[in-house]
């Protein structure tokens, strides 16, 4: 079931689709992206297919875990739309 997760970016909106639910995030509301924790603090929505994954903090205190196939390309696309996103140093985004 996790293999059916899709991440799409259109009109500054990140849509995370899963057969059971869909989540939309305004990319301009993303505050920080960092490497996700393995088992610590997993109360947020989890749209991951594998580990390692990334944690996206958006709005005031909402977050989601995701694991896109092309992590680097995905993060660079988000950064182009919202250059104010803070990235964890472990992600090596420049």
Say yes or no to pLDDT of 90 above 70: yes
User: What pLDDT, in 10s, does the model give residues 17-33?
Assistant: 988 889 999 999 999 99
Cis before 77 (ω within 30): no
Q: In the numeric block, which tokens belong to residue 50?
A: 């594998």
User: What pLDDT, in 10s, does the model give residues 40-73?
Assistant: 444 555 555 555 688 999 998 899 988 888 889 9
Global confidence as pTM: 0.81
E strand intervals along the chain: 6-10, 13-18, 21-26, 30-35, 45-47, 54-58, 62-66, 86-87
Full set of structural domains in the chain with CATH: 2-88 (2.30.29.30)
Give the pLDDT confidence score for residue 47 in this predicted structure. 54
Question: Rounded CA gap, 37 and 54, in Å?
Answer: 8
Question: Rounded CA gap, 61 and 68, in Å?
Answer: 22
């Amino acid at each position: 079931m996790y293999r059916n997760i899709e991440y799409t970016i259109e009109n500054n909106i990140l849509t995370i689709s899963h057969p059971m639910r869909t989540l939309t995030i305004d990319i301009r509301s993303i505050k920080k992206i960092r490497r996700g924790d393995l088992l610590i603090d997993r109360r947020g929505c989890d749209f991951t297919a594998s580990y390692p994954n990334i944690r996206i903090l958006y709005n005031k205190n909402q977050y989601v875990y995701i694991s896109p196939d092309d992590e680097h390309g995905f993060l660079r696309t988000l950064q182009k739309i919202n250059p104010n996103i803070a990235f964890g140093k472990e992600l090596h985004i420049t």
